[in-house]
Amino acid sequence: MADENVTKTTETGAPAAHRAEDPNLHEIAGGWIMERKGTNVPGFLKATYIVVACSCIGYSLIWINGDAGDSDRGRLVQQFDAATGFSPGVMWFATFLVVIFALILFKFAFTEHKD
């Protein structure tokens, strides 16, 4: 009976999660995350969504032309742009995709979800 002291593990080697006995708990990721029904996304996490999304948008707008004005790398960036044919349309499209993603993320985070 040496197997009595062995902890059961999942396929990934993680400890097996105990089944939720409370009907208001919902297991996610094989029990690694448990969610209580009726809870919303915490306020600090919503603020984090805003900060990260705005940082991504700002970064893509600031560096849309690359680092062409840098004293060391600026000439290399300018030469690369001249050789490859710089296309601001691609960068504006990428920025547009980031904005769309941010809007979808905000809609998901700030709307109520029914279980």
- What are the tens digits of pLDDT across the range 17-29? 555 577 777 777 7
Mean model confidence pLDDT for the chain = 75
Q: Please write the tens of the pLDDT for every residue from 27-49.
A: 777 777 777 777 777 778 888 88
The predicted structure's pLDDT at residue 97: 92
Report phi then psi at 26, rounded to 5. -120, 125
Mean pLDDT score, 95-106: 89
Say what the alpha-carbon torsion angle 94, 96, 102, 107 is, to the nearest 10 degrees: -140
Report phi then psi at 89, rounded to 5. -60, -35
Q: Does the reported pTM lie above 0.85?
A: no
Question: Residue 61 belongs to what H/E stretch?
Answer: helix 43-62
